[in-house]
Amino acid sequence: MVSVLDAPSKTDSTESAAALLAWYDRHRRILPWRALPGETPDPYRVWLSEIMLQQTTVTAVKPYYERFLARFPTVEALAQAPQEAVMQAWAGLGYYSRARNLHACAKMVVAVHGGRFPAEEKALLSLPGIGAYTAGAIAAIAFGKVAVAVDGNVERVMSRLHAVTEPLPSAKPLIRELTLAMVPQRRPGDFAQALMDLGATICTPKKPACVLCPLALPCRARAAALAETFPRKETKTTGRLRRGAAFVALRADGRVLLRTRPPKGLLGGMAEVPVSDWRHDYAISEALRDAPLAGPWRRAPGTVRHVFTHFPLELAVFTATFGIDTAPPAGGRWVPRHDLAGEALPNVMRKVLEKALGG
């Protein structure tokens, strides 16, 4: 099978890049981490935003970014912060390994690079949590290097522009090659952001606004009236449903029992109420065997459902109230209810607490 009809000429690529940059100059999005025309991009802000935007929408990231930047305004401030503070600031954004890598990266930038992010992709790739996409984005946007940053938006734009029939993810190397061939020597950072903006606002997954697109003329998918069928994707398999139990222990003085998950693995280093193992064959009828304390446990109506990247989860929630002198079990701590907002609680635990405590 031919994955792309034929390679674009250098002239075609140059003209397409020029058209895209002209469109970007008129329609660029104003984002809190993006330098305005004439401003010098801040590598720290570029890096922070790109890490936050992985698997997360711009709308969701904006308030987190602004609060995070106010709390840790420089890479030095972030490196010096305790990990618990970083996890608290990240809580709710999901994909929590990003926060741990973010903190480790900040420490390495300070310790190894004197607080300055390296400009070259190879050096950037040696930092924790920075892969090919993020390295390309930082190199291009923050340092003006000829580099590519291929995210989902860019994959969609380029697969339509060239009618790439090979499905994702196997088409990723080809799309990266096509994108690199199009990057201009001048303004590679603006080009990277222009492709992102085009995919986010014009070349959308459904009902793309082809009539407004600066790349409409050379777009092969549009010419064939097949834009919405690209990019082609391999069939995705959904993980098997897992079940478990969550235990919300309340003390008579209004404190809630929490503990911290192990630093490695799913939701590593985050706070949680005590929970059972999460298994597809978990027997809810025997859940009280996993309770952290012996007590008058009662099951809340219904369940809490949450979807992780690789599997859906269904939790039965149990609540019980204990005397004011009750000691926490090993690894647990009693937290005042009014302090829960400051804990590094992932979304699934916030759902559990909302069901148990009523918000």
The fraction of the chain above a pLDDT of 90, given in percent, is: 86
User: pLDDT class for 358, splitting at 50, 70, 90?
Assistant: confident
**Residue 12: predicted pLDDT:** 78
Backbone angles phi, psi at 203, to 5 degrees: -90, 60
Q: Is 66 a catalytic residue?
A: no
Asked whether 102 and 96 are in contact (CB, 8 A), the reply is no
**Residue 44: predicted pLDDT:** 98
Residue 7 has pLDDT above 70, yes or no: no
The fraction of the chain above a pLDDT of 70, given in percent, is: 96
How far, in Å, are 12, 142, 215, 289, 309 from residue 49 at the CA level?
A: 32, 12, 27, 43, 21
User: pLDDT class for 10, splitting at 50, 70, 90?
Assistant: low
In the chain, the amino acid numbered 26 is R
Domains defined for the chain, CATH in brackets: 10-229 (1.10.340.30), 242-357 (3.90.79.10)
**Residue 1: predicted pLDDT:** 33
Residue 8 has pLDDT above 70, yes or no: no
Residue 26 has pLDDT above 90, yes or no: yes
Question: What does pLDDT average to over the chain?
Answer: 93
**Residue 215: predicted pLDDT:** 97
Encode pLDDT of 122-142 as tens digits.
Answer: 999 999 999 999 999 999 999
- Between strands 242-251 and 312-322, the pairing is parallel
Residue 323 has pLDDT above 60, yes or no: yes
- How far apart CA 78 and CA 55 sit, in angstroms, is 22
Residue 238 has pLDDT above 80, yes or no: no
User: pLDDT class for 5, splitting at 50, 70, 90?
Assistant: very low
Among residues 15, 50, 121, 272, which one is catalytic?
50
Where do we find the tokens 């058209």? 19
**Residue 3: predicted pLDDT:** 46
Where do we find the tokens 């069928």? 229
Which residues, at least 6 apart from 205, have a Cβ–Cβ distance to it below 8 Å?
156, 228
Asked whether 344 and 271 are in contact (CB, 8 A), the reply is yes
User: pLDDT class for 359, splitting at 50, 70, 90?
Assistant: low
Mean pLDDT in residue range 1-15 = 61
